Amino acid sequence: MTLDPLDKKYQKSPDFPPDKADNWPYPPEQDGWMLAHNSIRKEVEQMIEALEACNKSGNVQQWQAACVKRFWKSHHSNEDDVMTPYLETRVNYPEKLTSDHTDLVNKLDRVDALVESLGQKEGDNLAELIKEMKEYKEIMFPHLKEEEELGLPLSRAYFTKEEIGAQTQKILSRAPKVELGSFIVCQGVDEFRNGFMKRNQIPTIAWYAQFKGCVAAFDQEFTKPLEAVKTGTEPVEASCCTIQ
């Protein structure tokens, strides 16, 4: 799918022409939007892998059900209420990017219901949940790609790095700790600190005041319960996987 961000059909006002793309100092691959998508994709792949490994061991045990609930609760999607409304102040946003949301939300609701029901009856297995998770992936991944191919070029054509950076800061300030931790871990801590933070003029103190704790939260709430399910090894920490 290709998009010409200079096409006048996307321009909402003559006061804001699509003339800013060449002034961005780093490529789209390093954009926060793309990096957030990468973390979502990684989480989904890891969850499906863990569920498939667990399903081979037979019926779901109580601690496994609790761990699945834990890491699914920590999974995040890209549906925020900051960036899209901001882009729509200058851009006639492609309808395709909003029309897919109904199917995506319906599938999320279905997965939520299956996860919530785990551990409530004897003989639970993960086959249906795995099927629904794979269907969720089949909807989500193309949606993310469309945003990258349509929304991202438009954001760079109509907005400066500083303008988008202000919205990124707003998203970071309100995001749950686990979601930020995923964003950081997917990049790698060194790349986040020396790449993303510097590109977005985030002061070093923010690592110690906020982001370091987010990495720890992601490890506790997502990585540890997921690895427990994947390996079949019940966690030692009583707080890691208990039915909430």
Per-residue confidence at 215, pLDDT binned at 50, 70, 90? very high
pLDDT above 60 for 242: no
Instruction: For residues 127 and 123, give the distance between their C-alpha atoms in angstroms, rounded to a whole number.
Output: 12
Model pLDDT for residues 151-170, shown as the tens digit of each residue = 999 999 999 999 998 998 88
Interior/surface letters 160-180, b for 16+ CB within 10 angstroms, e for the rest: ebeebbebbeebbeebebbbb
pLDDT: which is higher, 100 or 26: 26
Residue 97 and residue 146 in contact, taking contact as beta carbons nearer than 8 Å:
yes
pLDDT at 243 > cutoff 50: no
Phi first, then psi: give them for residue 11, nearest 5 degrees: -85, 120
State pLDDT tens for residues 165-199: 899 888 888 889 999 999 999 999 999 999 999 99
Q: What type of residue is 106?
A: N
What does the pLDDT read at residue 108? 93
- Average pLDDT of span 93-101: 77
Whether pLDDT at 237 is above 70: no
- Read off the tokens for 56: 């081979």
Residue 135's pLDDT is 96
Residues 229, 225: Cα–Cα separation, whole Å: 6
Q: Residue 241 — pLDDT band, cuts 50, 70, 90?
A: low
Q: Which amino acid is at 193?
A: R
DSSP SS3 for 73: helix
